[in-house]
Structure 1
Amino acid sequence: MTNSSSFEGCMDINADLGPFQYYTWGITSNIIAVSGILLNILAITVLSQPRMRSSTAIYLISLAVYDNIVLLSMIVNFAIPTLEVDAYFLDMYFFVYNYIQPIAYPIALIAQTGTIYTTVGFTVERYVAVCRPLQAANICTTSRSKKAVFCIFLGSVIYNIPRMFEYETVLEWDDQVNKTQPIYRATELGQNKIYKEVYFIYLNLLIMFFLPFTLLAYVNTCLINAIRTSRASRVQMSSSAVKENNMTLMLVSVVVVFLVCQLPSIADNILWTALNSYQQRCNATYIKFTTISNLMVIFNSACNFVLYCLFGKKFRRVFCKVFCSRLKRSTVRYQFRPESATLVCHIRDSTTKLYHVKGNHEMESTSV
């Protein structure tokens, strides 16, 4: 319970942080999220091409789908409400928001869980392909990756089933507008202290943090060492080994960015559970931290396409083939126009006649 002076101080803090959240969530997050959704659609298009068909591509397509769900949920939950738009629009927005949030909230958490374990899935597969090549032929197959993606989705849904009962929409009378309004509020389960302690702290720490992040850190270290070893013996590497090395480097970059961007979000979830409602709303340091951590999640879900282009040579080639085909066709026509082919034929005919005229000795000296 807080007194009136503390409440006024809380209002002052929120007023001071308004511009910070406006530029962080309202402007920056919206730009990154919308760009990320478009880039993820491009990534799905490229990864679905026949030349990119592989077990790893299936994981990456699934990751792009989860990322787009996360980006959409971030726009709905954080980016739009902080925009300085028309009051009538915000009233309509929150009216709809209160109805859809009990469903949208668990869907966003399912996508976040799927993102984490899909990243674990393709990292482990890459570890098998690089460090256990004799077992890769049986493990790293498209059929197995499809089953793994389905199991990740199923596990993400099962783990987040309790989230579907944490909040509810009820109708309450609002004296300010003199009518009944939908209100989005926590249920008895969502307010239960034991539930929050067990599910949010212990299970979240174990399933959403310690298990996946420890596994990712260990496997990623093994992959980085494998890349260093292969580069040290680059002279002995075949072309297929170079391609595998390039794919490994691309996936390692995705995992490193994932770890850096997701760790603050995990810490934010733990802090949110540990702090009371007054500290959550009135602590300026925590509000800034949670704002930045959510921005990093948005950035992580939006940047994978850029990483694919920077580190994936095959991805760049297929992307250019799909989206730059017109430019390539015009270049090919210019390089192999009929006039050039005719000129080459005339040169060959002249050279043949010249060899017939000259003697053997002269032909040998000319060829040298």
Structure 2
Amino acid sequence: MDEVSENMSSQFRMECGNHTDEDLELISSFNYWLEGVLMIIVGIFGLVGNSVSILVLASREMRNSFNYFLIVLSTTDNLFIFITLLDYSFTRVFSWPIDFDSEVYAIFFPRVFYPLNNISMTLSIFLVMVITHERYIAVCHPHAYRQNEAEGGGTRVLICTCIVLIPAIIINIPKFFETELTFEDSVDNEGLFNNYTVSYDVTDLRKNPNYIRFYVNWCLLVFTGIIPLAFLLFFNYKIFQGIRYTHARCRKSRSGEINLAAILVCIVVVFVVCNLLRVVLNVFELFWLDNIFRCGDEFMHAAWFHCLNSISHLLLVLNSSSNFLIYCSLGTNFKLVLRKVFNRICRVKERTNLETKQNDMDMDILGVAEQTVQNINAISAVSAVSAVHSNGIIETSL
């Protein structure tokens, strides 16, 4: 009987997973160093780099549809980085400025952090697809592209952004219903109601096997993995065909198109590399669905899966943080405008310092002048008193 129970327990551990002390220590180390320390370093660099990119791309010399799309992409990436750092790095790893188990986190996580993080990631994926299609139009259909630019590139960028924002929100609407707030009454030592604590819990929808199978795995895998990857491969192939055709006609126009195409290719390559692990882990979960349904809340992913998941989270932040390096490495106009903006900021700072020094000098001169006037008035007063005393002595002697 004991042998049968032991075999059943062993089979349960194999199907549902089991973590040893070494596994827990390894998972904790990966969470701390990858989702904590490294993610903060990469994320802060990404926030600064994307902000500088927006400043440069919004300048007068860089105004075109392609750069407008890059501005929207950088803004979306900054939103994703900010939420990811706040949720994973600061809250879950370092418990600052709020704790993972705090009521504040419980209130904001189900309705703000979790859904908005997924929406921003999905929107970033769709924007890369839109930018790729924009480059395809510019290279393979230049007349239509110039006509669109003449009619107003900014308006077209706004319309395209709204078009991809709507499906990004629709796809992630179920995320708003995966968690819910829970309220638990707390009583004092006498058994009287004292207060209630706010927490959150997973809803029945998130536990539903069909929801997990068809939405969490298949739907997100198809719409944020397979379709974007196939789309990017197809249109990048078309772009290179268009560049080859352009080179055969006019060598001069090839230089500018290759520079923009190189920027796009690097963005796409970084996107594919950084998102590939996320897609692979999603595919792995498809093979574990039966065990997940059978074990329920007792199911535990293997330690290596948790470690790779931490790497995946870091790679997603790296993907959103790397565009500034791509622009600086390959964007010829970007580097020129960046130097101009930097020099302009330095000149403004120098002018501010000079004005501050001039104001300080003026204040010093004014202070010296006021002190001089006070001294002259004091001397005049002393002279007047002396004269009065002298007149009094003279009158007395007379």
Q: TM-score, normalised by structure 1?
A: 0.78
Q: What is the rounded CA distance, in whole Å, between the counterparts of 2:58 and 2:226 in structure 1?
A: 33
The 3-state SS of whatever aligns with 1:184 is strand
Deviations 1:15-39 (CA, angstroms, capped at 9, x unpaired): 3321222111111001111111111
1:263 aligns with 2:276: yes
Partner residue of 1:51? Answer: 61
Task: Decide which of 10, 28, 35 is 2:38's aligned counterpart.
Answer: 28
- Check if 1:18 corresponds to 2:28: yes
What displacement does 1:82 show?
Answer: 5.2
C-alpha separation between the residues in 1 aligned to 2:26 and 2:238?
46
RMSD between aligned residues: 3.2
Relative to structure 1, the CA distance from residue 77 to residue 211 in structure 2 (aligned partners, 3 Å threshold; closer, same or farther) is same
Q: Deviations over 1:31-69 (max 9, x none)?
A: 111111111111111111121111111211111111112
Q: TM-score, normalised by structure 2?
A: 0.72
CA distance in 1, matches of 2:59, 2:336: 12
Distance in 1, matches of 2:332 and 2:78, equals 24
- Secondary structure at the aligned position of 1:324 is classed as helix
Q: Which has the larger Rg?
A: 2
Q: Which residue of 2 aligns with 1:95?
A: 103
Percent of residue pairs bearing the same amino acid type: 28
Matches within 5 A, 1:34-113: 34-81=44-91, 83=93, 91=99, 94-103=102-111, 104-113=113-122
Query: CA 1:228–1:289 in structure 2 vs 1: closer, same or farther (change >3 Å)?
Result: farther
Judge which range, 45-54 or 140-149, deviates more: 140-149
Task: Count matched residues.
Answer: 323
Structure 1 residue 305, shift from structure 2 partner: 0.7
Instruction: Determine the C-alpha separation between the residues in 1 that align with 2:228 and 2:100.
Output: 40
Query: Distance between the aligned counterparts of 2:85 and 2:323, measured in 1?
Result: 18
Which residue does the alignment assign to 2:264? Answer: 251
SS of 2:39's equivalent in the other structure is helix
Q: 5 Å matches for 1:321-360?
A: 321-325=340-344
Moved more, 220-229 or 252-261: 220-229
Q: C-alpha displacement at 1:111, in angstroms?
A: 0.6
Give unpaired runs (5+ residues) of structure 2. Answer: 1-7, 188-193, 349-398
- Structure 1 position 166, deviation (Å): 1.2
> What amino acid is aligned across from residue 261 of structure 1 in structure 2?
C
Distance 2:315 2:99 in 1: 28
**2:166 is equivalent to residue 154 of structure 1:** yes
- Structure 1 segments unaligned to the other structure (5+ residues): 330-368
Deviates more, 1:162-171 or 1:215-224: 215-224
Deviation at 1:202, TM superposition (A): 2.8
Deviations 1:259-314 (A, max 9, x none): 11112122334445645367874411111111111111010000101101111001
**Equivalent position of 2:214 in the other structure:** 198
Report whether the alignment pairs 1:114 with 2:123: yes
| Structure 2 letter corresponding to 1:222 | K
2:316 is aligned with 1:302: no
SS in 2 for 1:10: coil
Q: Which position in structure 1 is the counterpart of 2:201?
A: 185
CA 1:173/1:118 → structure 2, altered by over 3 Å: closer, same or farther? same
Equivalent residues of 2:17, 2:300 under 8 A apart: no
Q: How far apart, in 2, do the equivalents of 1:309 and 1:15 lie? A: 40
Give the aligned residue type for 1:65.
Answer: T
